[in-house]
Structure 1
Amino acid sequence: MASQSRRGGISLPERRGRGSSKQEPNILVKINNSQIVSTGKQAACDAVFVAKKLLKSTGKAAWIAGTTFLILAVPLIIEMDREQQLNELDLQQQSLLGAPPVGPPPPK
């Protein structure tokens, strides 16, 4: 039995010039190591950091505004609606009893 077992597939030949130490880096390595690319990466990281902070604080502000609206404004809206219904009921009862409707005088 072989000391090294292989599982299916094929083996690729070694790349040429891999052993030479005088090989100069390819164009992608040169571009990746350039000052412009590293500055761009840093700017992108900074932009992502600021965006995350902004989203987090915006979410907190939305939560505060939403809960404040539920606690303060919704009961006020309900009470105003209830008052309006009560006024309409009073006007309806007055018209049934024969009292003159309260409102602007009829035009002449």
Structure 2
Amino acid sequence: MATVARRGGISLPAKPSDSWLTKISRTPAVTWTKETASSTSVVVGKLLKSTGKAAWIVGTTFVVLVVPLIIEMDREQQLNDLELQQASILGTPPN
């Protein structure tokens, strides 16, 4: 095995030939798989980001529009129940 002299008097071994792992990692199938995985991760990231934005829009719309409607409907139901209770106490027939 040849050695390469470096400054400082230390000799390092020459770079060995590519290992079997390096050879396998350079095959077209592995390269294609790496590229596909990378592209898939980018698409999934964008999908999650847009899904998060959509969830935020739906959530805030629900809070701003639907929750006050539910509260108002509950108040109206309580008022109707109170009127019905008063009418039954006073003996007048309910409407």
Runs of 4+ in 1 over 6 A off after TM superposition: none
Tell me the amino acid that sits aligned with residue 69 of structure 1: F
Q: TM-score, normalised by structure 2?
A: 0.81
Q: Deviations over 1:22-69 (max 9, x none)?
A: x54221011011111110000000110001000000000000000000
1:99: Cα distance to partner? 1.5
Mapping for residues 1-108 of structure 1, pairs under 5 Å: 18-19=13-14, 24-101=17-94
Question: How many correspondences in the alignment?
Answer: 85
Higher strand share: 2
In the aligned structure 1, how far is the partner of 2:36 from the partner of 2:30? 10
AA partner of residue 62 (structure 2): F
The structure where helix makes up a greater share of residues is 2
Cα deviation for residue 88 of structure 1 reads 0.1
Q: Give the structure with higher Rg (CA).
A: 1
Partners of 1:71 and 1:89 lie apart in 2 by: 28
Unaligned runs of 5+ in 2: 1-7
Which protein, 1 or 2, shows the higher relative CO under an 8 Å CA cutoff with sep ≥ 6?
Answer: 2
Percent identical among aligned pairs is 55
Partner of 1:9: none
Report the 3-state secondary structure (helix = DSSP H, G, I; strand = E; otherwise coil) of the residue aligned with 1:57: helix
Gaps of 5+ in 1: 5-13, 103-108
Q: CA RMSD in A?
A: 1.9
TM-score (norm 1): 0.72
